[in-house]
Homo-oligomer: A and B are copies of this chain.
């Protein structure tokens, strides 16, 4: 793995794939042209770290392409993945001046990176942008609370079924609705997201397949019986 923070030649917000989502959706055409000068594109290679917990947060990031894992480590190495970031997700909000989790590229990732200070100045007199950022924070908070319920109160099978369904849901804006669900993250990542071990995740996948709920395919799963999966997830 080479150090590969490659800056791509500046491109245009108006052509950006995530223009309609993320923070950018709050900006009108003229603002977008100014905004363009704030961000620079960067690429990250698979498994490369984009930022680490406790690092001074000098940038905000808009994910343009690829998937990232967001995680926290305990001193003894146990890992909890607190979320996966997809195109359109906005990262780097904090109050301490430091990131409160680490972020790795899972596959190749492209981001739009904003230096903290100029971005802060840009927001300053644009309350609609601030409102948009607030909206994103509150949405994440709601997701975080849902995930607490999953981690604290659900069985392994419920966790996996819930994960597969909500991951499918998250992929809809990217790939359209489909019962074929791509899983770019490893089994270990899934385990660390669900508060399980890799073995339990693997066994649960196998069980769901035996029961005809899913089919395990290369790089993901196929949802054979969505209704049954929903039932397992709801319980």
A residues sitting closer than 8 Å to B (CB atoms) are 72, 74-76, 78-80, 82, 93-96, 100-101, 127, 130-131, 133-135, 137-142, 144-149, 151-154, 192, 194-195, 234-235
Contact = CB atoms under 8 A, between A and B. Distances in A.
A74 B159 CA distance: 13
Nearest to A144: B144
Nearest to A194: B152
A95 B141 CA distance: 10
Contacts of A80: 148-149, 152-153
A154 B3 CA distance: 34
Among A80, A131, A135, A148, chain B packs the most CB atoms within 10 A around the CB of: A148
A159 B134 CA distance: 31
Closest CB pairs A-B (n = 9): A152-B195, A144-B144, A151-B151, A80-B149, A137-B137, A127-B127, A82-B145, A151-B152, A80-B152
A26 to B, nearest CB: 13
B138 A148 contact: no
Given A72-B149, A151-B151, A153-B195, 7 more contacts: A82-B149, A93-B138, A94-B138, A95-B139, A95-B142, A148-B151, A151-B195
- Chain copies in the assembled complex: 2
Contacts of A135: 95
B78 A153 contact: yes
Contacts of A93: 138, 141
A142 B57 CA distance: 14
Given A75-B235, A79-B153, A148 B144 contact: yes
A82 B151 CA distance: 11
A113 to B, nearest CB: 19
A65 to B, nearest CB: 24
A140 B144 CA distance: 10
